[in-house]
């Protein structure tokens, strides 16, 4: 592809989240985008619509929306213009080629500074900015040097994993091309939902690792009660399948409103004459969900509240921060919660090392930054224990049971590996 043709084939695909919602997935105010989609060698408009719907779900978080928009936009431009395929036609070979393209993109795809994708022409029509490019690299523009970090490649791969898996659950695709993409070009990391067999999995702690983590925290609390906060955060995230962002204050970028979890999010509920407790959570896309509390988990609620000199169970309208700062006031943010989880994992690693379990300690240290292990561990263990997959799916906040099954269900896997372990050599 020569540079002139490459530039002709470039056009931003998605405006800001607010404008994308206001457009109602129509292109009346985007004549150049409509013309661009119609001129592609594949039926691009249906791909654009399903992707726009997907991105709108992340509109309440500007950071997440922008990141996903950038990654998926680049991929669609590559798929339509270089592979000349639609999403329905995409194969693992296209994924592999795209990952190589990310390492060495066509020079005409690279700009020197971030530029907003669309601008108004003064009459309400939105048009592409002339100097917009899918990639940004000041060093390339100045010195002809371009480099991409492995972390950036991992982020692109993770984004595509989630995107394609969602398209499958919504019946837009029959299967995800990510499943069989060549692992030589997709070096797996612990952040990636893919195991060594190319199957979609959710990375989780083993029963042994979880037991060690829990016991290490309980022991630490006996020595220094400051770890009561660590214990409560870890038990809550694992037991209730929470993302770290769901325990932190959240700002809705569309409305400007901020939501900070308080103890009143724990609420009683009477069903068929039986009193239960549940937790109100604000998940992705500002979607509310209510997660039933296991009776065993209430012990940790009461224990945490006792440490904070509060009554055993929350009262209606109680506006006390759920996870307080170290000085006892205000609600901790996402980064502090991530640090708390990391410190908990490192406590377990230190205990393992002290007991001569050096390999186990090393592994716990390696995953200490990955808070999502707790969410996946809780869901995976409950499914293994026989909890209905539909109930787990609803508590996870997934759109469908099929999506949950694609991540957590691996028929006969444990039996197969147990029998494989005892085979004669």
Mean pLDDT in residue range 29-33: 93
- Say yes or no: 104 and 234 in one domain: no
**Residue 188 included in any domain:** no
- Indicate whether 181 belongs to any domain: no
Chain centroid, CA 150 distance in Å: 18
| For residue 381, pLDDT beyond 70 | yes
- Assess whether 352 and 212 both reside in one domain: yes
The bridge status of strand 110-111 relative to strand 135-136 is parallel
Tell me if 352 is assigned to some domain.
Answer: yes
pLDDT at site 216: 95
Dmax of the chain from CA atoms?
A: 77
Predicted pLDDT at 184: 41
Residues 319 and 230 in one domain: yes
Give the per-residue pLDDT at 199. Answer: 41
Residue 195 has pLDDT above 50, yes or no: no
425, part of any domain: no
How high is the mean pLDDT of the chain?
85
Q: Is the pTM of this model over 0.75?
A: no
Same domain, 319 and 272: yes
- 84 inside domain: yes
pLDDT value, residue 181:
67
pLDDT category, 90, cuts 50, 70, 90?
very high
| Domain range enclosing 280 | 207-418
Q: Which tokens in the block code for residue 156?
A: 């692109």
- What lies within 8 Å, CB to CB, of 359 at 6+ separation is none
In the numeric block, which tokens belong to residue 41?
Answer: 């060698």
Residue 227 and residue 123 share a domain? no
Q: What is the pLDDT of residue 212?
A: 92
Is the pLDDT higher at 202 or at 90?
A: 90
CATH of the domain at 215: 1.10.443.10
Q: What is the pLDDT of residue 411?
A: 46
For 94-105, the pLDDT digits (tens) are 999 999 999 999
Please state the rounded mean pLDDT for residues 27-51.
93
Angle ∠(284,288,292) on CA atoms, nearest 5: 115
How many residues in total does the chain contain?
425
Tell me, yes or no, whether 143 and 260 share the same domain: no
Alpha-carbon distance of 205 to 280, in angstroms, equals: 26
Q: How far is residue 344's CA from residue 388's CA, in Å, rounded to a whole number?
A: 30
Residues 213, 164, single domain; the answer is no
Residues 122 and 250 in one domain: no
For residues 255 and 78, the model is more confident at 78
Give the model's pLDDT for residue 202.
79
Indicate whether 155 and 239 sit together in one domain. Answer: no
Contact, 29 vs 124, CB < 8 A? yes
User: Of all residues in the chain, what percent carry a pLDDT higher than 70?
Assistant: 87
Q: How many domains does the chain have?
A: 2
Check residues 121 and 29 and name the one with the higher pLDDT.
29
pLDDT class for 155, splitting at 50, 70, 90?
confident
Above 80 in pLDDT, residue 180? no
In a domain, 8, yes or no: yes
pLDDT (tens digit per residue) in 250-303: 876 666 678 889 999 999 999 999 999 999 998 876 788 999 999 999 999 999
Across 168-182, 308-322, 397-411, least confident range: 397-411
Q: Do 223 and 367 fall within a single domain?
A: yes
What is the pLDDT at residue 1? 42
**Closest listed residue to residue 109, CA positions, set 80, 126, 131:** 131
Instruction: Please state, in angstroms and rounded to a whole number, the distance separating the CA atoms of residues 13 and 207.
Output: 45
Domain boundary among 169, 197, 228: 169
Bigger pLDDT: 408 vs 367: 367
Give the model's pLDDT for residue 410. Answer: 60
Q: Is the pLDDT of residue 413 over 70?
A: no
Given this model, what pLDDT does residue 421 score? 65
> Does any domain span residue 247?
yes
User: Residue 182: is its pLDDT beyond 70?
Assistant: no
pLDDT of residue 253: 63
pLDDT band at 187 (very low <50, low <70, confident <90, very high): very low
Look at residues 169, 195, 225 and tell me which one is the last residue of a structural domain: 169
Q: What's the pLDDT tens digit per position in 216-253?
A: 999 999 999 999 999 999 999 999 999 998 999 887 66
State yes or no: pLDDT of 7 exceeds 70: no
CB 72 within 8 A of CB 90: no
Q: Are residues 143 and 88 part of one domain?
A: yes
Of 6 and 326, the one with more pLDDT: 326
Examine the domain organization and report whether 155 and 72 are in the same domain.
yes
Do residues 205 and 345 make contact, with C-beta atoms less than 8 angstroms apart?
Answer: no
Predicted local confidence at residue 152, as pLDDT: 83
The tens digit of pLDDT for each residue in 355-366 reads: 998 999 999 999
User: What count of other Cβ atoms lies within 10 Å of the Cβ of residue 18?
Assistant: 13
Q: For position 338, what pLDDT does the model report?
A: 95
Arithmetic mean of pLDDT, 5-9: 57
Contact 320, 262 (CB under 8 A): yes
Give bridge partners of residue 228 from the DSSP assignment.
Answer: none
What is the 3 state secondary structure string of the chain? CCHHHHHHCCCCCCCCHHHHHHCCCCCCCCHHHHHHHHCCCCCHHHHHHHHHHHHHCCCCCHHHHHHHHHHHHHHHHHHHHHHCCCHHHCCHHHHHHHHHHHHCCCHHHEECCCCCCEEECCCCCEEECCCCCCEECHHHHHHCCCCCCHHHHHHHHHHHHHHHHHHHHCCCCCCCCCCCCCCCCCCCCCCCCCCCCCCCCCCCCCHHHHHHHHHHHHHHHHHCHHHHHHHHHHHHHHHCCCCHHHHCCEECCCCCCEECCEHHHEEEEEECCEEEEEEEEECHHHCEEEEECCHHHHHHHHHHHHHCCCCCCCCCCCCCECCECCCCCCECCHHHHHHHHHHHHHHHHHHHHHCCCHHHHHHHHHCCCCCHHHHHHHHHHHHHCCCCHHHHHHHHCCCCHHHHHHHHCCCCHHHHHHHHHCCCC
CB contact at 8 A, 212 and 205: no
Where on the phi/psi map is residue 25: left (φ > 0), alpha (ψ -120 to 50), or beta? left
Among the three residues 169, 191, 217, which one is the final residue of a domain in this structure?
A: 169
The reply to whether 198 falls in a domain is no
The pLDDT of residue 2 is: 43
């Amino acid at each position: 592809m020569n540079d002139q043709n490459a530039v002709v084939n470039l056009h931003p695909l998605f405006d800001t989240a607010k404008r994308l919602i206001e457009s109602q997935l129509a292109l009346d105010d985007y004549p150049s985008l409509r013309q661009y989609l119609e001129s592609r060698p594949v039926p691009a408009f249906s791909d654009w619509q399903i992707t726009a719907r997907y991105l709108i779900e992340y509109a309440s978080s500007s950071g997440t929306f922008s990141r996903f928009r950038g990654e998926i936009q680049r991929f669609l431009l590559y798929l339509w213009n270089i592979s000349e395929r639609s999403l329905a036609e995409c194969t693992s070979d296209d994924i592999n080629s795209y990952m190589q393209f990310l390492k060495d993109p066509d020079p005409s795809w690279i700009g020197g500074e971030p530029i907003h994708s669309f601008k108004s022409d003064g009459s309400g029509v939105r048009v592409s900015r002339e100097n917009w490019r899918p990639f940004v690299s000041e060093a390339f523009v100045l010195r002809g040097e371009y480099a991409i970090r492995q972390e950036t490649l991992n982020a692109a791969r993770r984004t595509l994993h989630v995107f394609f898996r969602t398209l499958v659950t919504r019946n837009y695709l029959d299967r995800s091309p990510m499943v069989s993409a060549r692992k030589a070009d997709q070096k797996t990391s612990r952040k990636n939902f893919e195991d060594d067999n190319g199957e979609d999995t959710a990375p989780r702690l083993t029963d042994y690792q979880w037991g060690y983590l829990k016991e290490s925290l309980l022991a630490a609390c006996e020595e220094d009660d400051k770890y009561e906060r660590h214990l409560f955060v870890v038990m809550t995230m694992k037991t209730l399948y929470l993302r770290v962002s769901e325990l932190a204050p959240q700002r809705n970028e569309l409305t400007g409103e901020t939501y900070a979890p308080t103890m009143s999010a724990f609420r009683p509920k009477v069903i068929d004459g039986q009193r239960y407790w549940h937790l109100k959570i604000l998940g992705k896309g500002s979607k509310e969900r209510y997660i039933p509390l296991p009776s065993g988990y209430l012990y940790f609620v009461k224990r945490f509240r006792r440490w904070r000199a509060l009554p055993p169970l929350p009262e209606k309208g109680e506006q006390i921060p759920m996870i307080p700062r170290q000085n006892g006031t205000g609600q901790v943010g996402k980064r502090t919660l991530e640090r708390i989880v990391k410190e908990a994992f490192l406590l377990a690693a230190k205990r393992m090392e002290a007991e001569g379990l050096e390999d186990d300690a090393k592994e716990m240290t390696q995953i200490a930054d990955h808070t999502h292990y707790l969410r996946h561990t809780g869901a995976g263990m409950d499914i293994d224990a026989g909890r209905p997959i539909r109930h787990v799916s609803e508590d996870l906040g997934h759109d469908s049971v099929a999506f949950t099954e694609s991540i957590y269900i691996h028929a006969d896997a444990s039996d197969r590996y147990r029998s494989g372990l005892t085979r004669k050599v």
